Amino acid sequence: MSYDIVIPTTGRESLGLLLHALAMAEGPLPQRVVVVDDRPAHGEPLRLPSVRLPVELLRGRGRGPASARNTGWRAGSAEWVAFLDDDVVTPSDWREALSRDIGALAADVAASQGRIVVPLPRRRRPTDWERNVAALENANWATADMAYRRSALEATGGFDERFARAYREDADLGLRVTAAGLSIVRGERHVLHPVRPARAGISVRLQAGNADDVLMDAIHGRGWRARAGAAPGRLRRHLAVTGAALAAGGSLSVRRRRVAACTAALWLAGTAELAWARIAPGPRTPHEVWTMLWTSALLPPAAVFHRVRGHVRLRALPRPARPAAVLLDRDGTLVDDVPYNGDPELVRPRPGASEALERLRAAGVRMAVVSNQSGIGRGLITHDDVDAVNRRVEELLGPIGPWFVCPHDPAAGCACRKPRPGLVLRAAERLGVEPGACALIGDIGSDIEAARAAGARGLLVPTPQTLQQEVDAAPETARTLPEAVERLLA
């Protein structure tokens, strides 16, 4: 077992303390400690302390932690990559504990998350900012201390560099890794994450993260918060409070004083509720109370502004290219879903299936079918039964392309059963296209997750059997198969 350590930094003084702590720790040495200098404007070269570690300093591009971490892990070759933030402190046994955490993990475990301990004051209640930092203790997949297998990073492409800020880039990677059928476990090691000083308006500036939430919705569907274990947030309340303030101002400008008074009262009530929610658990000192009052007035419009900015930015991003190949699920997508069907006489095409396939043929788009057939592994049907049903599908709908079938029981843990990407990768290779140039149309969540895990575009066409949470989680949906095809070809 070998590991690298990657530390993105903006030049904080705490970086030197971290490197000294790592050097003094017990346990196997890392293959490399890659420090990525990600300061936006490089002036004097970053000075690192002299420590007994194989430290390498790389220049980042000043594009945020996602880009810096990619620069760091791609520079190494170790089996594991441990990511640390430059403001954490590792205890004396951290290297030994990391080795224990990752040394005996099963092959389907892609990552090990360390525990984050945020020291809070003992003789008073924490401030709003201190509570914000302390939320890291319960955050899923926080890269303040996170070790990934290099193979998992390579398979997913690493961190999405469209996230230029912290906090969402780690959740995005965690969702993509788990969607690929891999798991992330919590280890026994821990790091300390002290609360660094912050300006009074930090809570307002943090609302810029609402723009990243728009991108998360587009990539992972609106159900991503539940899957990532993220807090639901207060966006709806912020929208209501901001709307009340705008309505009050607009009504006053046209001299509708009664309407202005009512909407102003709603704004005041909403702002007061937010302020008290932040004041009540805190120390309630005069400075803290005043800070909570004026920032609570600014938080809702700041959140709404950045949400709108996120939608504007999303519209400016390149639209998905027309796919070089379209992969189709069989049961529930091309034909009615008959569980463990081995009888060709029971094959019934889905509405619009023939029309959709003719449209793809006319457009010259290569096609293939990717289908889970666990009935073979369960002993309920045979390979010959599945082949007979597949032939009947093509008798009714015309030639489609190569067929890729996973015959395994779900308990087999194979790499081909959707939601894992094996079938998609095999189909792309056979068709001679990159997985990222493929689109997969299916009727359940595992189809979309398999596409996401392979780097392909996934499009869900729900049926009455599709679970609502699968619809919510899908980045793209269509009402019918022909509508899905038209969207891909548009």
Q: Are residues 462 and 335 in the same domain?
A: yes
Q: What is the pLDDT of residues 136-194, one digit of tens each?
A: 999 999 999 999 999 889 877 889 989 988 889 999 999 988 877 789 999 999 999 99
Helices (H) and strands (E) in the chain, counts: 19, 12
Give the confidence band of 207 by pLDDT, cuts at 50, 70, 90: very high
- DSSP class per residue in 123-158: SSPPPHHHHHHHGGGG-TT-TTEEEEEHHHHHHHTS
Per-residue confidence (pLDDT) for residue 413, from 0 to 100: 84
Q: What is the pLDDT of residues 457-482, one digit of tens each?
A: 999 999 999 998 888 888 889 999 99
Residue 313: is its pLDDT beyond 80? yes
pLDDT over 90 for what percent of the chain? 76
Per-residue confidence (pLDDT) for residue 234, from 0 to 100: 92
Cβ atoms within 10 A of the Cβ of 24, count?
14
Asked if residue 356 lies in contact with residue 461, where contact means CB atoms within 8 angstroms, the answer is: no
In 299-361 the beta strands, taken as DSSP E runs, fall at 325-328
Lowest mean pLDDT among 52-56, 319-323, 347-351: 319-323
Q: Are residues 187 and 210 in the same domain?
A: no
Asked if residue 61 lies in contact with residue 106, where contact means CB atoms within 8 angstroms, the answer is: no
Per-residue confidence (pLDDT) for residue 42, from 0 to 100: 61
Mean pLDDT of the region 260-289: 96
For residue 90, the domain's CATH number is 3.90.550.10
Question: Among 331, 385, 443, 447, which one carries the catalytic annotation?
Answer: 331
Return d(Cα 92, Cα 467) in angstroms, integer: 48
Q: Which of the residue ranges 60-69, 222-231, 350-359 has the most confident prediction, judged by mean pLDDT?
A: 350-359
Per-residue confidence (pLDDT) for residue 443, from 0 to 100: 96
Q: Are residues 233 and 180 in the same domain?
A: no
Q: Are residues 161 and 47 in the same domain?
A: yes
Give the confidence band of 44 by pLDDT, cuts at 50, 70, 90: confident
Q: Are residues 181 and 218 in the same domain?
A: no
Per-residue confidence (pLDDT) for residue 63, from 0 to 100: 86
Return d(Cα 16, Cα 187) in angstroms, integer: 25
Q: Among 298, 317, 336, where does a domain finish?
A: 317
Return d(Cα 163, Cα 209) in angstroms, integer: 10
Q: Are residues 157 and 277 in the same domain?
A: no
Q: Are residues 191 and 215 in the same domain?
A: no
Give the confidence band of 404 by pLDDT, cuts at 50, 70, 90: very high
Q: What is the pLDDT of residues 246-259, one digit of tens each?
A: 999 999 999 899 99
Residue 263: is its pLDDT beyond 80? yes
Q: Are residues 256 and 384 in the same domain?
A: no
pTM given for the model:
0.73
Asked if residue 392 lies in contact with residue 343, where contact means CB atoms within 8 angstroms, the answer is: no
Is 447 considered catalytic here? no
Q: Are residues 404 and 267 in the same domain?
A: no
Give the confidence band of 319 by pLDDT, cuts at 50, 70, 90: low
- Helices 169-179 + 65-74 axis angle, to 10: 60
- DSSP class per residue in 86-111: TT-B--TTHHHHHHHHHHT--TTEEE
Mean pLDDT of the region 286-300: 97
Torsion angles phi and psi, residue 79, rounded to 5: -65, -35
Q: Are residues 177 and 205 in the same domain?
A: no
Q: Among 154, 178, 198, where does a domain finish?
A: 198
Question: Among 37, 170, 213, 329, which one carries the catalytic annotation?
Answer: 329
Structural domain including 86 reads 3-198
Residue 487: is its pLDDT beyond 80? yes
Residue among 107, 142, 143, 140 at smallest CA distance from 1: 107
Residue with tokens 């034909």: 335
Is 409 considered catalytic here? no
Residue among 160, 176, 268, 158 at smallest CA distance from 215: 160
pLDDT over 70 for what percent of the chain? 99
Q: What is the pLDDT of residues 405-457, one digit of tens each?
A: 999 999 888 989 999 999 999 999 999 888 989 999 999 999 999 998 888 99
Q: Among 141, 170, 198, where does a domain finish?
A: 198
Per-residue confidence (pLDDT) for residue 241, from 0 to 100: 97
Residue 115: is its pLDDT beyond 80? yes
User: Residues near 232 by Cβ (< 8 Å), separated by ≥ 6?
Assistant: 225
Q: Are residues 211 and 177 in the same domain?
A: no
Q: Are residues 347 and 274 in the same domain?
A: no
Asked if residue 349 lies in contact with residue 394, where contact means CB atoms within 8 angstroms, the answer is: no
SS3 state at 367: strand
- What is the number of domains present in the chain? 3
